[in-house]
Amino acid sequence: MICIVDYGMGNLRSVSKALEKVGGEVRVSSRPEDVKSAQKVVLPGVGAFGDAAVELGRRSLSEPLREILRKGKPFFGICLGMQLLLEESEESPGIPGLGIFKGKVRRFQDPNVKIPHIGWNQLKTKKADFPAFRTLPAESFFYFVHSYFPVPQDASLVLGETDYGNETFPSFIGNETIWAAQFHPEKSQEAGLQMMRNFVTR
């Protein structure tokens, strides 16, 4: 069972439908016990970092998420769900994230590009044999909607990057158990579905 965490700020229907389409057995839940008992966990998100972090705490979901992440349960963070893995964000000073990875979420600085970054862009993988990228064509296009991006202190966590204006930002971070994408795989057609299929079958 894959638990999609409902904290009131995710595009839950599109994520659940995409996972079901590639063979996932899915439960959307805001119950801490469902997060703890699930085989795999997905944390989607749309909105502001601070609001999301506060809402996770209000619903008693922060500690269960930290617990399953530290225990190594397979996890996929999407967009804001990726950013929440870090310690803090320039979007919401003073409000801590989950703090799984040391680092900060930063805003685009190039004055010559439109913010937010919306639309299709390429994922340049830094580790082509990473399981999330299995059978994906090199430099596949994915769909983005964001103004901020994560900058982990540990550069080895950056598994994929994307160019926007004069900046190259981490667009996929993770390790053996944690996958996290700044883009929306559930909105990224076949490439996104393949990545979600890779998560379901991992």
Query: Could you list the active site residues?
Result: 79, 184, 186
CA 42 – CA 74 distance, rounded (Å): 9
Question: What backbone phi and psi angles, to 5 degrees, belong to 17?
Answer: -65, -40
Specify the amino acid at residue 100: I
Residue 174's H or E segment, with its range, is strand 167-174
Chain centroid, CA 50 distance in Å: 16
Residue appearing with tokens 């598994």: 159
Question: Nearest to residue 134, comparing CAs of 40, 25, 1, 22?
Answer: 22
Sorted by sequence, the CB contacts under 8 Å of residue 135 that are 6+ apart come out as 194, 198
Structure tokens at 190: 């076949």
CA 128 – CA 35 distance, rounded (Å): 30
C-beta of residue 137 within 8 angstroms of C-beta of residue 111: no
